[in-house]
Amino acid sequence: MAHPSEHRLCSAGVLRGVLVWVSLFVVAYIVGRPIFWHSRDNSYAQSSCPPCDCDCDADNIFSIPIGFLNSSYSDCGKNDPDINEEMEKDRISLLSEELRLQKNVTDDSLKRTNALIMDAKKTSSHYQREAEKCNAGMETCEEARERSVAALTEERKLSALWESRALEHGWKDESRIYS
């Protein structure tokens, strides 16, 4: 009789070898693609365009305020009068203008919030009045029900009294409604 491990399609060594080859292929694919594309881009860039000639001074880049630093377009907009006017403003006026704009936005937001609060108060007041009307109506209905129950009880007592008097005087009840 054969051993159960002899009936397998592959042995453990063959399976291990296949797994090693697959893992090597996956690693080569993951690592190799970026290297291939990077080297391919560099070879195209070197062959298709000459190196750029820049006449920019390296010290000139650091003279620009940090908030306006854009190294690729440092002289962009020099001929535009609107941009020149903005760039000529000093830092304090820019900050004060920013604060004024933020104050305007805050004021608008506060106005909207106050309007919403007033609307909510009006709606709440309206519903409160309606609830009070409903409660008053319920109390009126409850009082009317109590009065009708009392009147019905009194009417039954009176009916029973008249019935008992009629029976005393010889009346025969053939279709008695009340018990």
What pLDDT, in 10s, does the model give residues 126-163? 999 999 999 999 999 999 999 999 999 999 999 999 99
> What's the pLDDT at 79?
72
The pLDDT of 90-107, averaged and rounded, is 90
Q: What is the pLDDT of residue 141?
A: 95
First to last CA, the chain: 100
Q: Which residue has the higher pLDDT, 35 or 149?
A: 149
**pLDDT score for 179:** 56
Residue, of 31 and 102, whose pLDDT is higher: 102
Q: Quote the tokens at residue 120.
A: 């909510």
The first and second tokens of residue 160, run together, are 């029973």
- Alpha-carbon gap, residue 128 to 124, rounded angstroms: 6
Looking at residue 74, the DSSP 8-state letter turns out to be T
Q: Which is more confidently placed, 108 or 60?
A: 108
The mean of the pLDDT values for the chain is: 80
Of 19 and 45, more confident = 19
pLDDT at site 60: 53
When pLDDT is averaged across residues 156-171 and rounded to a whole number, the result is: 91
Q: Domain boundaries in the chain?
A: 125-165
Collapsing DSSP to helix, strand or coil, 33 comes out as helix
- pLDDT of residue 57 exceeding 60, the answer is no
Q: What percent of the chain has pLDDT over 70?
A: 69
pLDDT digits over 65-78, tens only? 555 545 445 566 56
Mean pLDDT of 103-114: 97
The stretch 48-56 carries a mean pLDDT of 58
Say what the pLDDT of residue 34 is: 81
Write b or e for each residue in 151-162: b if 16 or more Cβ atoms lie within 10 A of its Cβ, otherwise e: eeeeeeeeeeee
Q: Cβ neighbours of residue 97 under 8 Å, at least 6 residues apart?
A: 89
Q: Which residue did the predictor score with more confidence, 35 or 158?
A: 158
How many other C-beta atoms can be found within 10 angstroms of the C-beta atom of residue 111?
10
